Amino acid sequence: MIARIWHGYTTPANADAYEALLESEIFTGIQGRRIPGFRDIQLFRRNLGGEVEFITLMRFDSLDAVRAFAGEDYEAAVVPPKARAILARFDERSQHYEIKTELKGETL
């Protein structure tokens, strides 16, 4: 399994709008593409004072599945125009890691 990690940053004033855009349009758009091998996406948010950091973590079955999402240059960031308009800065390249171990806690 492959983890795709990407960072984007907004001003504090734009953080809620960016999060809402991700949840209402961008993530649902990714899900709607029904990409074979796409597992899930998680959003992390951290206030850094003068800016707000967002991290997305996507999981795929393979690099071929990542290419189906991002294209042949699969490390290139996939940032739609609406998101670019809200972000102050972002990673131009995503990082990819092979997931070697996964431990799940007990379900209550």
Q: What is the pLDDT of residues 85-107, one digit of tens each?
A: 999 999 999 999 999 998 989 87
The contacts of residue 48 (CB under 8 Å, 6+ apart) are: 9
Q: What is the pLDDT of residues 22-64, one digit of tens each?
A: 999 999 999 999 999 999 999 999 999 999 999 999 999 999 9
Neighbours of 102 (CB within 10 A): 7
pTM of the model: 0.92
Q: Are 9 and 45 in contact (CB under 8 A)?
A: no
CATH 3.30.420.40 is the classification of domain 2-98: no
Q: What is the pLDDT of residues 8-27, one digit of tens each?
A: 999 999 999 999 999 999 99
- What does the pLDDT read at residue 74? 97
- What does the pLDDT read at residue 106? 84
Domain residues of the chain, as ranges? 2-98
